[in-house]
Structure 1
Amino acid sequence: MSQTFVIEAVMIAIYGQLLDPEKPVEYIVPYTSIMELYEFAESTEPLMNEDNENQYVKTRIQQLIAYFEEPLNKKKIQRSLQVPWAQSSAILLSEKVQLKIINAMDNAHYGESFDPIETEMILSALKKEAPMLTDQFEMIHRIIEAKIPVQVYDIEDFAFALEGTPTV
């Protein structure tokens, strides 16, 4: 049985520990965050502070994009885009990690406090009853302030999150 988390695609590229968990994990990723990978790959803005780290992350983003564009994975993703809130079948990233793309729909419910991808992550977490993983401390704070009934973990607490979440 795997544990499920809602996460942005770029986090998978940035944080290597997410691909080597102690237990099996399933990541649910809103499709718009997959599209955001293309923006990050083409952007001249640095994602990381150090040049060598930035280059490494850009390379990982390119690899993730290429993996998603492989015919079988692309077909799985395209199928999920036919219906709002549809979810792709599992895309295997490693022996212990699988990913599912969700065709989340931003309904502007949290639009004043959260950007569209953050809103889709929140709505996906609520719909799938799964905790979120993020590195954005400000977003965690805004979720708490807004009293949104979703569990959210900082990526630095990933090992703790694995211990504390029920398996599905």
Structure 2
Amino acid sequence: MRRRFVIEAVLVATYGHLLVPSRPIDYVVPYSSIAELYEMRDGADPVMDDPDDDGHVKSKINELIAFFEDSLNRKKIEKAMQVPWRVSSPLLLNDTIQFTVVHAVDNAHYGELFDPIETELLLIGLKLNLPLLSDQFEFQDKLIEAEVPVQIYDIEDFEFAVEEGISSSDLEMSNEFDRF
């Protein structure tokens, strides 16, 4: 069974270990984070501080863009883009990794606390009952402070999330204890 995580597309290009998981993975990404890949590729600002790392990540971004632009994948994405909150058919990268693209729509409910992509990530997590993967401590802290009922893992805890994770029933149990 595939483990599913909501994630920004650029994080998959940035963190190489996400491309070699120990179990099959489905990365669920908002379409807006795919569009952001083009901005990062074409922008003058570096993605990484180290020039060698920046060049490597930008080449991975190009590979990911080429994957999403593949004619079959592009058709699946275009079909999902026809209706808000539609989920694409799986886009197969290899035997262990697939992507699902969501035509997420920003929602004012969380729009004041989070930027548009963060809002889409958390709304996808809530709507599909999926955990998020992030490398942004500020985003993680804001989720906790706002008491958004979505599970989040730091990128550094990726292997734990894939292998063991925290089940929904474990979360419900801990929430019950928090009430006492």
TM-score range, shorter chain: over 0.9
Match of 1:122 in 2: 122
Moved over 4 A (4+): none
Deviation at 1:149, TM superposition (A): 0.1
Match of 2:71 in 1: 71
Alignment of 1:89-100 (within 5 A): 89-100=89-100
| In structure 1, distance between residues paired with 2:93 and 2:120 | 22
Q: CA RMSD in A?
A: 1.2
Write the deviation string for residues 79-123 of structure 1: whole angstroms up to 9, x where unpaired.
Answer: 000111101111111211110000011012111111000000000
- SS of the aligned residue for 1:38 comes to helix
Q: Based on CA coordinates, which of the two structures has the bigger radius of gyration?
A: 2
- SS of the aligned residue for 1:21 comes to coil
- SS of the aligned residue for 2:108 comes to coil
Deviation at 1:165, TM superposition (A): 4.5
Match of 1:144 in 2: 144
Q: Which amino acid aligns with 2:51?
A: D
Match of 1:8 in 2: 8
- SS of the aligned residue for 2:109 comes to coil
Write the deviation string for residues 47-92 of structure 1: whole angstroms up to 9, x where unpaired.
Answer: 1111000000011111111111110010010000011110111111
Write the deviation string for residues 109-156 of structure 1: whole angstroms up to 9, x where unpaired.
Answer: 111111000000000000010000000011000000000000001101
Aligned pairs, number: 167
Q: Which amino acid aligns with 2:152?
A: V
Percent identity, aligned pairs only, is: 53
Alignment of 1:16-165 (within 5 A): 16-162=16-162, 163-165=164-166
- Asked which structure has the greater RCO (Cα within 8 Å, sep 6+), the reply is 1
1:3–1:165 CA contact under 8 A, matched in 2: no
| Gapped regions of structure 2 (runs ≥ 5) | 168-180
| In structure 1, distance between residues paired with 2:57 and 2:96 | 22
Q: Which amino acid aligns with 1:107?
A: N
Q: Which amino acid aligns with 1:113?
A: L
1:108–1:116 CA contact under 8 A, matched in 2: no
The alpha-carbon distance between structure 1 residues 20 and 94, as it changes in their structure 2 partners (threshold 3 A), is same
Q: TM-score, normalised by structure 2?
A: 0.90
1:19–1:94 CA contact under 8 A, matched in 2: no
| Gapped regions of structure 1 (runs ≥ 5) | none
- SS of the aligned residue for 1:164 comes to coil
